[in-house]
Chains A and B, each alone.
Chain A
């Protein structure tokens, strides 16, 4: 039938146009990058097959870490205010309570050994450069000791629930020293002015990043920012795949809070339209029978 032929031409033209300006053009503007690597197996300074000793880890952490880091879960509270800590270090040192849970084991061990290399921030802190990263390398420590520290940190990490509150806790631990989440009423714990001095730029508020960047981009970006944005001040954070999923889930819960409602209302409205079209078709047939 002629009308179907016209419709077919229309569908082909519009389809080709859509393909060209959406999937194709975007693939040209944003080429695919290496897939996210949650094993962090490019880091090989510490033998992570060694079994850690929690008790020795506790001793080492108390001797080496708590001068700068709070560990609320182990009773070491933050001594300075956020602003004072930020002023002293450039950025607030993280509370290590959930470090054992959110950071990948391999990443964490190698981070302790050499933070700058693990975070891929060599471009900001070159060896012998004028600026030094606030946390020193513990490359003098024996691999066994490092693994003891990791084992201890893993042992004290409080579990979180599989819901928005849990996702928020992970986001706070992983992101909110630098990033605000205005729509979730979270401010960065480091004051904006200090951050600007420390990073050279103000890190973006993440309220709408689930929309502006999208899940696909975030999945690669959080895992390794340099791959998508070479030279960025954002470090590789070393989150486990699960922790990263929780962070992205929280970004979606805040940035796209009506998603579930949208998808369910959508089905109803489309269903209504289908019924409307069917009834309209029957009515049209009835009426046009008289004129054809």
Chain B
């Protein structure tokens, strides 16, 4: 064991044992972020804060929630919302936070796509991010079941039913997931376990991986410029703050993020206290009833686009039923973002507005996702069904076309 001197200060005492000075440097004061960024680069910190808020509010809810079909609804809507001091506050924060976190995730994700922050060494950042997206989706879905309202029940019914379309094992798989032949107490208790234990553990792990994946390729910047981070860091440390292309995570980068966070929190708390219906659907204040199907069943807003990709296929093609086709399209839609770094065949890392073909592709994709989201909520009748089909097909075509679009773009760039 190394020789230990008597420490002169508490800091030194900890430093001897935990290397806190070095640790703070590596994590904060000498963790370098490009200077040329805009407020969209604050979404990561916003997401970290939102995750913390969800975790803490969730812990408080966990103290009174009862995962049992006979008690769940009242434990949420009576005990937590009305009996426990500020229980309503934690529930509102948790429910609205779960919805708003997806808004920020989508902004974060499409920022990454727009600026090409998923390629040339940043593939693992992108993949760990998409794993986080999938885990958050599972977390959102399992959590939505817990209040045991009508929409909890019927969304669980519809979504678990989707797995029934998988060939050969589908029927057994549905029973295995539900733990029963229908959505029942066993379904509630296992989704409770997933929501409060297994998925959060996965999320924590994936967050660590996501942050770690940033260390080597470093954060992208608004121009997609590549530069030597060590060289720029030296400049900064030498006092050439204005000349250097990088800033330290603390305090420079975070000072900007705190401001963006402050503005965001004003918006967030407005929703929490005064405008929460979008995240706490009125229908879910009716207790789950397996014998009474609501007139309209729809998932939370952040699942609407993929739900519509699934639902858009409402007629058979050849030997395949609409349900099979929808399921295939749904599987495609949920997996395709993961391989984004390999679909974009152009070596250019630039914002979409500086890339002739990709720029058009990007905004078409955004427009298509918005159409899918809107029509995912509307009843799929008459012309709505055809718009849904068109948008679902467009989604597939856009992603199948992406390699060709970007190859053509790369050729054009070379020709210049």
Contact = CB atoms under 8 A, between A and B. Distances in A.
A192 to B, nearest CB: 15
Interface string B224-253: 000000000000000001101001000110
A283 to B, nearest CB: 5
28 contacts: A3-B38, A3-B39, A6-B40, A16-B370, A20-B373, A21-B377, A28-B379, A29-B295, A29-B378, A29-B379, A182-B74, A209-B285, A212-B284, A213-B282, A214-B282, A261-B88, A262-B92, A266-B269, A266-B273, A276-B265, A277-B262, A277-B263, A279-B262, A288-B256, A291-B35, A291-B241, A291-B242, A291-B247
Interface of B: 35, 38-40, 74, 77-78, 81-82, 88-89, 92, 103, 107, 241-242, 244, 247, 251-252, 255-256, 258-259, 261-263, 265-266, 268-270, 272-274, 277-278, 282-286, 295-296, 301, 304, 366, 370, 373-374, 377-379
B370 A280 contact: no
B contact patch SS:
helix
Interface in A8-23: 10, 13-14, 16-18, 20-22
Best-surrounded residue of A28, A214, A270 (most CB of chain B within 10 A): A270
B241 A17 contact: no
Contact of B273 (A2, A183, A265, A290): A265
Interface of A: 2-3, 6-7, 10, 13-14, 16-18, 20-22, 24-25, 28-29, 182-183, 204, 207-209, 211-214, 257-258, 261-263, 265-267, 269-270, 273-274, 276-281, 283-284, 287-288, 290-292
Contacts of A267: 273
B282 A277 contact: no
Contacts, number: 131
Contact of B374 (A3, A20, A257, A273): A20
Top 9 closest A-B pairs, CB basis?
A: A266-B273, A277-B262, A212-B285, A20-B374, A211-B285, A280-B259, A280-B258, A273-B265, A25-B377
A17 B278 contact: no
Given A6-B38, A290-B241, A21 B379 contact: no
A197 to B, nearest CB: 18
B237 to A, nearest CB: 13
A284 B89 contact: no
A284 B259 contact: yes
